Amino acid sequence: MFLMPMEERKATRFMPWAVCALIALNLLFFIPVYDAGAMEATSFFARYGFIPATPHAINLLTSMFVHADFLQVCGNMFFLLMFGDTIEDVIGPACFLLVFAIGGLGAIGCHYLFNPDSTTPCLGTSGAISAILGMYATFFQE
C-alpha cells in the first residue's frame, strides 16, 4: 500500500535555497507546457526533453526540468519540498545540487542504456528526486 506523507518532523536550521530554486526552475519550465496546446507542447518536449535516438548534451540538463502535465510537476515538487529541505540542511546546498544532478543524470543514463533507439522524450525530475529520497531514507531510517 502506498502511503502519502502529510508532514515531516525533522526541523531545518537554514532556508532551503537550493530546493526553492529547483522548484522555481521546474515551475518556470512548466509554464509553456501549461499554456500550450497539444501540438505546441509536443514540440516543446521534443526540443527540451532527452530523446535517446537523437541525444544532445544540453537536453541532459533541460529534460530534468520539463514535465508533461500538472500531476507530474505537482507530485515531483511535493516530494522535493517534503524531503529536500531536510537533506539540504544536512549536506548543504552545493552537495544537494550535486546529488540532485547526479541522480537525474543517472536516471537519464539508465533510460538511454535500456532504450537507445527510443524517440519518446524523457521528461521530469523523478530520477533526481529519487536520489534525494534515497539519501533521506539512509540518513533518517528509524
- pTM equals 0.87
What's the pLDDT tens digit per position in 63-85? 999 998 899 999 999 999 999 99
Is it the case that residue 6 has pLDDT exceeding 70? no
- In tens, the pLDDT along 124-139 reads 999 999 999 999 999 9
C-alpha cell at 50: 532527452
**How does DSSP assign 95-136, residue by residue?**
HHHHHHHHHHHHHHHHHHHH-TT--SPB--SHHHHHHHHHHH
Domain 17-139: CATH superfamily, name plus number = Rhomboid-like (1.20.1540.10)
Domain ranges in the chain are 17-139
Each residue of 31-48: pLDDT tens digit?
A: 888 887 777 888 889 999
Whole-Å CA distances, 35 to 41, 121, 130 = 9, 19, 28
